[in-house]
A and B are shown apart, each in its own frame.
Chain A
């Protein structure tokens, strides 16, 4: 089992006092400012993920990507396949924000918000509750199989599996209405594909968070590979202060480091033990580092123990470490050309998106010529063409629309002239259009369909169509 405890090398402790520190720091995993932030983010993201799908809105699920109806609901907004441009813009915004965040704060996303980090954190927590701290887990892994070990393992796997299944269920609940899904689960009438996707996503969660963990970040994540391109010497990263720490070495508590010819690093390896990717941050910036700041919390506790100032490992920038800057200088370097350009582009796109959504038409009409029926002559020298009008009410209220046709002298239509559509619904109406044979030229003629909202003439669509005369 590739958990982090078995990845880091076993450590031999030279100093009894440091062993104490180890006992205090590690068994309770990492505690500290950044650990607290990580847990806050775990709670926020997961409350959002597990909770949002249950929220009702206007009698439907507030956030639902209804694949079957081909409509996306996000609170009051309804997106149709015709709105795909918004989705594209949204993705661009997501990408740009990631660029911006990365340029300023390094891998903040990875350390605090990425589902991979968050689920690993939760799965690790379960593991820790059941199998104990790092050394207990290492012992358990090395121990021969006993009833106790089997029981611990089984409990862990069952809990992991339950959580993974719940995650899979929630995931599918964003694509098919979750309340219906819930009742179908309990009446054992879940469709084959829904079951497939619940298990598929659940299995992925289990595999990624339970077993692969840091390997996902190191070998599978595309972002980890190109984030380096967004870094510059003013990007905040988790950094070990080399000048202050070296030469490292074990020592007793007491004398000032300089007086015994040592730096501040007591070489306790605790920063390595808490690291979820198992690297040694003292070797400098590495692409494996997900910026979780666990090593900052850990080393700060060691520094406290030793009576040294905190921050031997800290959030800092390359320039700041070189120039021994404080926070004031670091912040004053945030507004640099790269950041300003990223922000400007980002705001421009966001404003365009909001404008587009606000001005989204509330009525849409697609005119489709009936493929099966071409033009045909009917009684009294009239020619008939058949159309299907796909009327989409994008608004959040029930609406009635009037359909009229124009473009040729004497043109008229048969069929429903009034369509009534509930909120955010669509309907295809079949319309037979008739016109006198001599009203137009042989071949195709341009006609127009007008669909108007009865209560507000301004909401109207003027659609072109072709009328064939044989």
Chain B
């Protein structure tokens, strides 16, 4: 099932938006303009773009720590202000959480972004409640949680899949298997290197997909989301992919593995080849898309840099709803 060319080009642009966002962010991080820690989603753009394409603002997704891209995409697509994700990462008052969340805690329910949790995958439990509420209200929404392969090691993985299964909750598990959890190879950290093997016992559809082929990822997400909206209960998708970012200390993976994923399996390059083969679009047309997106990201970075810092007095606000008096 081939995608129509307009959709494919849109996804190409989305993937570039994610990559340009991360490249720009990395540059600013190295300059010391972005505080804290930085985990980027470069290499995993097809997975994120496919999810973003099918999740509506009325659905929800719990993004993982490599999800600046999907956060920005959702923010831009549904609200037209992707720059507020950038501003959040810069710790500015104009950010989606006014600088209280940062890279690992950005949320905006109006675009379906229910917030990352830097205790990896804690929202495997939270997603159940959103799904339960929608099930009780008979709303055909999808509650998605995005989890890394390493995160599957948590006990909540079992609790969540089990409860979603017994209650037939509308949960989409999007497992981004990029081969490693920091330095731990997936096959060493789990009883199976294929996470679908671990999920199968819970009786939901478990599908493994090439996370670097945008057409395949897009089609599988569509199937999963349709199934969930139809009331068939939870669905588990495992995206096989690879992250370009090594360790904070540098690259630790074999040179040939790095070359293979960056050159042969780059999701953007693969999409570009596909578009070239299926349409009359020229390399120059695609280069122009890339340049436009890079330019857009630079304006976001400027917006973030020129935004005010939060008022320090806000640091103790909103600890309690209704203040200390608990009104």
Q: Do A and B bind each other?
A: no
> Hey, which bits of chain B sit against chain A, CB under 8 A?
none
> Hey, which bits of chain A sit against chain B, CB under 8 A?
none
